[in-house]
Structure 1
Amino acid sequence: MLSRKIFRQWSPAPMILFALFYLFLITSSQPDESRTLLMLKSALQNSNGDLFRSWTESNSVCNYSGIVCNSNGLVAEIKLANKQLLGTLPFDSICELQSLEKISMGSNFLHGSISEDLRRCTNLQHLDLGGNSFTGVMPDLSPLNKLKYLNLSASGISGAFPWKSLENLTSLTFLSLGDNYLEKSPFPLEVLKLEKLYSLYLTNCSITGKIPLGIGNLTLLENLELSDNQLIGQMPSDIGKLQNLWQLELYDNFLSGKFPDGLGNLTSLVNFDASHNQLEGDLYELRSLKNLVSLQLFENQFSGGIPEELGNFRNLSELSLYSNKLTGHLPQKLGSWGGLEFIDVSDNFLSGSIPPDMCRNSRMTDLLMVNNSFTGSIPENYANCSSLKRLRVNNNNFSGIVPSGIWGLPNLVIIDLSMNQFEGSVTYNIAEAKSLAQLFLFDNQFSGELPLTISEVSSLVSIKLSSNQFSGHIPETIGSLKKLSSLILDKNKFSGTIPESLSSCVSLSEINIAFNSLSREIPASLGSLRNLNSLNLSSNRLSGEIPSTLSSSILSLLDLRYNLLFGPIPQSLSIQAFKEAFDGNPGLCSWNLEGFRSCSSDARSSTRTRTRTTLISCFIAAIMVLLVLLACFISVKLKQHKLEQSLSTNSWDLKQYRVLNFNENEVIHGIKQENLIGRGGSGNVYKVVLKSGKELAVKHIWTSHPGDWRSCRSSTAMLKRSSRSLEYDAEVATLSSIRHVNVVKLYCSITSEDSNLLVYEYLPNGSLWDRLHTCRKTEIGWEIRYEIAIGAGRGLEYLHHGCDRQVIHRDVKSGNILLDEDWKPRIADFGLAKIVQGEGNWTNVIAGTLGYMAPEYAYTSKVTEKNDVYSFGVVLMELVTGKRPIEPEFGENKDIVYWVSSNMRSKEDGIQLVDSTIVEQLKEDAVKVLRIAILCTAKIPASRPSMRMVVQMLEEAEPSYLSNVIVNNDGQN
């Protein structure tokens, strides 16, 4: 009442003054949030200037883009997720925002540490820092007891996670900590107290031991992901209490035993993946999970039949049960509701027929039934399955005629019907299969002629038709298949001649037309196939002389046995490795190979007239060639003179990527012929010694290629320049930002109008290929080989998992692993590398090196990190066995992967594969690595481990001598 009387007695003017004073007190007591946010901007503004355009002192903070205020006008949320932000977060400033409840800054490129200052943000309810590149350990989060949402997945944190702090975060509903380099620990029991959780993501964060009993107390859980850890034992019996569970992901662990009773209570389950474990027993607990959309249980030990109830699952779109011990039939109603998109039941003991309606509504993309005992034929209505991309039913007991429409399905990438009893012919409408890359029909009863229209399938990479009854001529138009790398037609009834146009299949690396009825001469033009690695024309009726042009190909396998060939064996092919390649041709003679009649002077005189004519023709041709070469030589000298002049000028642009203690002139003056140490397809490599004594390796990538005779051919030169430019750009883009002890250091690039120079660290021990397989071969013990394996593995792991954006090398091989003076490895040569944008895979042309390329290269253009994993597995096999990726001893059309896998039935067998130069007591250690190599080279990409897992396995395969050294050192300390 008193205050009311006082106000009544005041005049209006003092009342206005009092109100203004009161407003001043309120505003002056509020924190200066603009200053705080501008400090945040200063830490990040260089990365995305447009984003922060509204962040000015004159603007209200509530109008800043990405800022949300509460009803009091105070900052409540920083909403800057997925904005391509770079920089280090100033948590000390951010946590001055006293009303801040949400920080959403995930999926950026933030780095530095998450500091202890974060603990001061005590009002936080939502924290999303996932998908960044932070370093160091996570601070104790106990003070943040209001948190409901915590996402730190793939954030880069490492070390011991403060699991204890979760006890105080009892309001959490969402917890995501996966895909980080965390210290190994048992399943954190503190999580079991978070009874409000609806989503728990702990994938790939080094959890060991068993999933504890008590997980069933988290009854609100809708999503539970524990994949890619080291979990063991059985699934807990109370997991059936999680009746709200929508997704259960347990793949890539070491879980064992049967499904627990009660798993069938999870009737809300939509996605269930427990693949790549050691689970066993039957699948009958799954009969009531009628809402399943995706079921993936591949690579386990399940047995018994597939429940018929699965045929009634209306929403089922993915079913993957391969590599188990399942028996019986597939449910015949499977897919009849029209939603099935993917099925893989390969590598089981299943029988019966193909369910008739799996491709109803044309949604199925993959039908994979490899290595079973299925019977019957392919249902006629599958000819309308236009969505189908992969049809693989090989190694079964199928029979009958393939529906004609199958051959022309427009999206098919692979047809693999091999090792069955199919009959009939390939029909003309195969021309409509515009995406077809692999056609595998071997070991069947197919007959008739190959349709001419097969030459219209320009995407074909591999044709394998062995052991059938195909007849007629090989289509002359086959030269249209420019991508064809493998043509296997052996053991058929083909007649006529080898088409001349075959030489136009410029990608061919393998030709096998043995055991047919082909006649007349071997086309000399086959020698123009520069990629040809294997040529088998044995057991035909071929006549004439062996073309000397075949020596132009880099053949590792040649077989011309049992034909009607005559005349001298070309000197270039008269080598011991091919000694048996010419057997069964009585008309052949040789100058030096034992077992053949000598090419005597009498034999020579009988062809003297023809030889004289040939020599005259050759002489005239040689004169013409010399004139062309002379013109090229003059052109090259002029260009080289121009380059030498450019080397002495100051027209070079240097971009440094590390701290340099030299300048471009020192590097340029070192590019001399006497310093040349290597040649490649894109240029030369020089060893340059600086005044300081420091050694550098300089890759000189020509833009106009002054020393290349082929530059006289202007049309191809332009293509080569474009290719070199792309390689140069790829290598710089990849290496300029990479910092890892096992990736070669790029110091700088130096560019001019004519040349691009890449300046690297010099590695004196050369490449691993040199040290294993060439005249520079060195006897390397297992101790060093293991260190090379794990070092190179860590380099690749960094590229795949440690970079801001994943880098896929695409040409991993022993030739691209360089060794320093201490034999420490470096991943090198990134000319084919790709930095992954978006989803992590993309379409591109086939790239890589024969013998190292993953098998899926032949039927898909999608490239993922699993291609690198395969190649690395081949390198591991080289290290253990000392063999090249392709050796004649592996057998026809076989490589080191086949050789190792087929001979690795026991530990004793494995020891026999180990390089004989490795000491006996370390061979068992080498076999451990060989087993890892087999996992890396699994045929199915999804079956291969990640590079992170490969490195973990290699660490666990540490040789016994190293473990002893570590134990002894610990004891001394």
Structure 2
Amino acid sequence: MDMKKTSVNLVFFFFFFFVSILGLSEEGKALLEFKNSITDANKWLANWVATDLLPCNWTGVTCTGDSVTAINLSGLSISGQVPEGVLGQLGNLTTLDLGNTDLGGTFPLDLLNCSNLMSLNLSYTYMEGPLPTRISQLTKLQTLDLSYSSFFGPVPDAFGDLLALKLLNLKAANFTGVLPSSLGNLTNLTEIHLGLANFTPTAMPSWFANLTNLKNSLNGSIPEIFTNLTELVSLDLSQNQLTGSIPSGLIELEKLQVIELFANQLSGEIPADIGNLRSLSQIDVSQNQLSGAIPQSIANLTNLSILHLWQNSLSGIIPPGMANLQALTEFVLFENHFTGTVPGNLGKDCNLTRFDVSTNLLSGPVPVHLCDGQQLTQLIFFNNMFSGTIPDAYENCRSLTRVRFEINELSGPIPDGLWGAPKMQIFTAHTNMLNGNILPSIGYALNLATLDISSNWFTGPLPQEIGNLVMMQSLSVSGNNLSGTIPPQLSHLSQLNELDLSQNSFTDGIPPALGNCTQLKTLNLSMNFLTGPIPSELGELSSLALLDLSHNALTGEVPSVLSGLPLEILDVSYNNLSGVLPPGLLTVTDAEGNPDLCDVASNCEAGMQQTNSKINGPMVSAVVGTFVAAMIVLIVGSCCFYQRYTIFNEHQKGLVQNSSWHLTSFHKNTLREYEIAEFCNDPDNIIGSGGSGKVYKAVLGNGQPVAVKKLGWGETKGEALHDHGFKAEVETLGKIRHRNIVKLLCCCSNNESNLLVYEYMPNGSLGDILHSTKGGALDWAMRYKIALGAAQGLEYLHHDCLPQIVHRDVKSNNILLDADYEAHVADFGLARVLETTTITTWKGESMSAVAGSYGYIAPEYAYTLNVGEKSDIYSFGVVLLELVTGKRPIEPTFGEGVDLVKWVMNKIQRTEGLYEVLDPHLGCASHNDMILVLRVAMLCLSQHPRSRPPMREVVQLLIEAKPRSCREKLNTNTNVSGSIWPDITSTNLKNTAEDERKEMNAAANNDYNNNVVETPNFLGL
């Protein structure tokens, strides 16, 4: 036994002996030399140690076998220069990502020895100098990203030898000259980004025609060179900035099978002779500004399978001959201005999978034959004027996954088989005149996630079989005449987050079993004939934000367990409730019309003649208290500031000579602290001021204009001064790089002042220009561009920063405009970082001071100091209203106690008031486009934080609200059921054009079901 132990010990001894002799591999030694040559202040590379045998477990290092094949240090705050002769020793390296670091120096020439390199990313670095002509040695390179770097000089002609290249990104680098024609050799190139560079302007070069796989980054009109490519089979110029019309010369390309021109800015009409392209199988010209009718000749395209014309301004009738296209599978025309009827035989001779003509002006009966091929998955025609009944032909259409025909003039019952379609995921039919019963066959629709049949004439009970639909997330049957009891089987719907049974004739009590639906966020049982007590089991609904039990005949007390829920609205008005309202519910409850319900026990004897004012009193007090506190802080602060002004003034002149400055730089620059500070001594340089300090314009010796914000700091006469958000701005902005976030170049600090140095924005703030005599110069296209840019900046803060950043002071004066009127979100003095792992959860931080600016503060701030990203979204909604109305958030003309939000809400309650809110400086041509953005603003301004869409969704909605000058005027005489504008409370606005493309075969998105917006029907909200 001892001999065995001795043998084992000898084995380990010799193993470690040989390891000590061999040491770290050669590749590991090279990487260690790299580490020792740079600065790693935050110890990101702390585990790069010489005691390891191989570097394969080091941060950012990936190995295949024992050899290093990938290095990814992207985003790490490492600085210094990449040493020469080091990376070239990694002979098997395929991926090198040094992007978004502070590394400088020139292009490492030894990297050209890495002949296996396939991906190289040096973007967002301080690397500079010209590129080597020998870069052609990297023959396997597929991705080359040099964007936002400091490389300069001409693009080497040798780029044309990188034949494997698929992505070339030179955006915002300092390259100059003319692009070499050798780039035409890169036939595998799918993406090329050249924006914001300094290339010599030229016409579209002829070699672009060789890049047949290119999918992006073209602008201007479609070059005529493409019309000469007679062998071209597929033309994909989608997702560019192309303008002008579709060239008639394309009609000569007889071999063309695919035309992809979607997501551009093309205008004019579809060529009348498009029917000559007999080989054509796919047409996608969606998301443009095309007008006119669909050419009759399109009926000649016998091979056409996919037709996407959505989101244009096309009009006229749908050519009857299209019903003869036997290869047709996708017929998608939504958001145009088509009139007349859909050809009755469409679908009879083809196998349609997708039919979407929503948001047009179509009328007549629903086509009968769309599902004859039994392959139809999407039947979508909401927001039209279809009438008559749903054809019985859809009784057996078992392939359907999405059916949406809300906001039409349909009548009669829904066919039995359609209720129980086994693959159905979304079924919305609200705002019609449908009648009959909800049939028990609905229990077979086991995949149904969204059912909305509200605002119809359905009668009878809600069948208990609905409890089988365990995938259900949103169920709305409000505004019908359903009767009987609420089936307790609803408790089986464990994924349900919205249940709306309001405005019906349900009787008896509220089923206690509803407490099992623990995912519920909205529960609305109002306007029924419910009796009995409020079940205490509802206290199990831990996610519930809105509970509406108003206008029933409920009795008993309000259960105290409801105080533990995250309720934002509790409406128990107009019942027969009694007792004392739990204290934790005082600020969120409407209890009017309950004479025996008290807010405190001492008031019970006097009854509840003034119930509503008593219960809502604490909320009013909170609002008034917050405002008064803010005013007191402002007055006291002003006095203190006045007393200290002379002290600061004494230091001002000797600021540069008598203080020791410390400069911290966040971007590559040659700024000098003494040069910056000099400009803060001259009042003539002041370009703005606010609660946190003055802003100066400085033009430095190198000609660079910058904006300098000067903040107080340090101690004066033994009393510490407030830092006015200095640390918050530095900590926040110093690590952010986004085109729509103002760039913090550096900060300077000493014992008396802090200076924040930003890139200079020549057009000032949005608030200043919008609410001045220059406001009329901002046309709608420019305002839309500003809105989208600001939204994208906030989206970055909320969704792409780790941890998440909440701005907390979003307003038009904190949106700065550069020379091209590109929006930059600024002023992070109130910003806070939210330490949360789930950014879609509304989670705020309790504040001890007022966060935000008057007129922009979200309503929930009146009763809680919790501030989260939903507060930013509300404030951004106010900014959108400013852009649409041209008015300030607070104006005397609104009346006492009325801000911009209330003013707009009051106006659009009336049909004729809608146009009164639109800025008269912009004229009528933009009205319909402005209304689309107004609808997005109303989503952001929902009273309930959980009902506001996340910024990522706001950006998508704004993208889809892009101006289209050829829209027809909104028909103000049209009622809701005939409106051409979608309904925001339904899922349709959120079922965006891009979502339709992505979700064609996917399940419904949960987040689409969570919007409760208290806005008038005229906007379709």
1:128 aligns with 2:128: no
How far 1:298 sits from its partner (Å)? 0.6
**Secondary structure of 1:251 counterpart:** coil
**Secondary structure of 1:447 counterpart:** strand
Is contact 1:77–1:101 with CA below 8 Å preserved after alignment? no
Amino acid at match of 1:221: L
Per-residue CA shift, 1:14-71, capped at 9, x if unaligned? xxxxxxxxxxxxxxxxxxxxxxxxx9xx99x99766488479999999988599xxxx
Of 417, 425, 433 in structure 1, the residue corresponding to residue 453 of structure 2 is 417
Per-residue CA shift, 1:120-165, capped at 9, x if unaligned? 4455666522578664689434344545444335675668896735
Q: 1:438 to 1:897 in 2, by over 3 A?
A: farther
Which residue number in structure 1 is paired with residue 356 of structure 2? 320
Amino acid at match of 1:331: P
Is contact 2:170–2:197 with CA below 8 Å preserved after alignment? no
Which residue number in structure 2 is paired with residue 934 of structure 1? 934
**Within 2, Cα distance between the matches of 1:393 and 1:149?**
47
1:431 aligns with 2:467: yes
How far 1:367 sits from its partner (Å)? 0.9
Of 426, 430, 433 in structure 2, the residue corresponding to residue 394 of structure 1 is 430
TM-score, normalization by structure 1: 0.60
Which residue number in structure 2 is paired with residue 166 of structure 1? 205
CA RMSD of aligned residues (A): 6.1
1:460 aligns with 2:496: yes
Which residue number in structure 1 is paired with residue 227 of structure 2? 192
1:176 aligns with 2:215: yes
Of 725, 732, 738 in structure 2, the residue corresponding to residue 697 of structure 1 is 725
**Secondary structure of 1:460 counterpart:** coil
Residues 207-286 of structure 1: matches in 2 within 5 Å? 207-284=242-319, 285-286=321-322
Identical amino acids, percent of aligned pairs: 22
How far 1:303 sits from its partner (Å)? 1.5
Residues 397-546 of structure 1: matches in 2 within 5 Å? 397-407=433-443, 409-538=445-574, 540=575, 542-546=576-580
Q: 1:257 to 1:591 in 2, by over 3 A?
A: closer
**Within 2, Cα distance between the matches of 1:309 and 1:867?**
52
Amino acid at match of 1:322: S
Is contact 2:361–2:384 with CA below 8 Å preserved after alignment? yes
Q: 1:254 to 1:93 in 2, by over 3 A?
A: closer
Which residue number in structure 1 is paired with residue 326 of structure 2? 290
**Within 2, Cα distance between the matches of 1:488 and 1:297?**
35
How far 1:198 sits from its partner (Å)? 3.3
Gaps of 5+ in 1: 1-38, 68-74, 575-581, 597-654, 663-675, 678-686, 702-730, 749-758, 764-770, 773-778, 836-841, 853-864, 890-894, 915-919, 957-973
How far 1:362 sits from its partner (Å)? 4.8
- Rg: which structure is higher? 1
Is contact 2:421–2:444 with CA below 8 Å preserved after alignment? no
**Secondary structure of 1:287 counterpart:** helix
**Within 1, Cα distance between the matches of 2:410 and 2:927?**
36
**Within 2, Cα distance between the matches of 1:833 and 1:210?**
50
**Within 1, Cα distance between the matches of 2:745 and 2:497?**
36
**Within 2, Cα distance between the matches of 1:344 and 1:191?**
36
Amino acid at match of 2:265: Q
Per-residue CA shift, 1:661-697, capped at 9, x if unaligned? 99xxxxxxxxxxxxx99xxxxxxxxx98358999463
Amino acid at match of 2:713: V
> Which deviates more, 368-377 or 245-254?
245-254
How far 1:834 sits from its partner (Å)? 11
Is contact 1:347–1:372 with CA below 8 Å preserved after alignment? yes
Is contact 2:254–2:278 with CA below 8 Å preserved after alignment? yes
Amino acid at match of 2:254: T
How far 1:232 sits from its partner (Å)? 1.8
Amino acid at match of 1:689: W
Which residue number in structure 2 is paired with residue 349 of structure 1? 385
How far 1:291 sits from its partner (Å)? 2.6
Is contact 2:235–2:259 with CA below 8 Å preserved after alignment? yes
Is contact 1:473–1:497 with CA below 8 Å preserved after alignment? yes
1:547 aligns with 2:571: no
How far 1:549 sits from its partner (Å)? 1.9
**Within 2, Cα distance between the matches of 1:302 and 1:156?**
37
Is contact 1:528–1:553 with CA below 8 Å preserved after alignment? no
Amino acid at match of 2:311: H
How far 1:311 sits from its partner (Å)? 2.0
Of 378, 381, 384 in structure 1, the residue corresponding to residue 417 of structure 2 is 381
Which residue number in structure 1 is paired with residue 881 of structure 2? 877
Is contact 2:187–2:210 with CA below 8 Å preserved after alignment? yes
Is contact 1:394–1:419 with CA below 8 Å preserved after alignment? yes
Amino acid at match of 2:915: G
How far 1:220 sits from its partner (Å)? 3.5
Q: 1:696 to 1:802 in 2, by over 3 A?
A: closer
Q: 1:87 to 1:548 in 2, by over 3 A?
A: closer
Which residue number in structure 2 is paired with residue 910 of structure 1? 915
Per-residue CA shift, 1:762-786, capped at 9, x if unaligned? 99xxxxxxx99xxxxxx97696898
**Within 2, Cα distance between the matches of 1:239 and 1:405?**
46
Q: 1:496 to 1:140 in 2, by over 3 A?
A: same
Is contact 2:409–2:432 with CA below 8 Å preserved after alignment? yes
Residues 596-675 of structure 1: matches in 2 within 5 Å? none
Higher relative contact order (Cα pairs below 8 Å, separated by 6+ residues): 2
**Secondary structure of 1:255 counterpart:** strand
**Secondary structure of 2:483 counterpart:** strand
Is contact 2:91–2:113 with CA below 8 Å preserved after alignment? no
Give the count of matched residue pairs.
724
**Within 2, Cα distance between the matches of 1:120 and 1:403?**
70
Amino acid at match of 1:140: L
How far 1:300 sits from its partner (Å)? 0.5
How far 1:566 sits from its partner (Å)? 6.1
Is contact 1:433–1:457 with CA below 8 Å preserved after alignment? yes
1:105 aligns with 2:143: yes
Q: 1:370 to 1:57 in 2, by over 3 A?
A: same
**Within 2, Cα distance between the matches of 1:814 and 1:911?**
30
Residues 60-79 of structure 1: matches in 2 within 5 Å? none
Q: 1:305 to 1:358 in 2, by over 3 A?
A: same
Which residue number in structure 1 is paired with residue 654 of structure 2? none
How far 1:815 sits from its partner (Å)? 4.7
Which residue number in structure 2 is paired with residue 565 of structure 1? 596
1:205 aligns with 2:210: no
**Within 1, Cα distance between the matches of 2:928 and 2:191?**
34
**Secondary structure of 1:458 counterpart:** coil
How far 1:215 sits from its partner (Å)? 2.0
Which residue number in structure 1 is paired with residue 622 of structure 2? none
Per-residue CA shift, 1:253-299, capped at 9, x if unaligned? 22111012322233333332221111011222533433333332111
Is contact 1:746–1:760 with CA below 8 Å preserved after alignment? no
Residues 754-769 of structure 1: matches in 2 within 5 Å? none
**Secondary structure of 1:311 counterpart:** coil
Which residue number in structure 1 is paired with residue 42 of structure 2? none
Amino acid at match of 2:157: R
Gaps of 5+ in 2: 1-33, 39-54, 71-84, 97-111, 617-663, 674-690, 693-710, 748-753, 759-765, 818-823, 846-854, 857-868, 896-900, 940-948, 967-1021
Which residue number in structure 1 is paired with residue 77 of structure 2? none
**Within 1, Cα distance between the matches of 2:918 and 2:282?**
44
Q: 1:215 to 1:100 in 2, by over 3 A?
A: farther
How far 1:490 sits from its partner (Å)? 2.2
Is contact 2:807–2:832 with CA below 8 Å preserved after alignment? no
Which residue number in structure 2 is paired with residue 794 of structure 1? 789
**Within 2, Cα distance between the matches of 1:793 and 1:261?**
38
Amino acid at match of 1:167: S
Residues 642-791 of structure 1: matches in 2 within 5 Å? 689=713, 695=723, 697=725, 736-740=735-739, 742=741
**Secondary structure of 2:155 counterpart:** helix
Q: 1:466 to 1:271 in 2, by over 3 A?
A: same
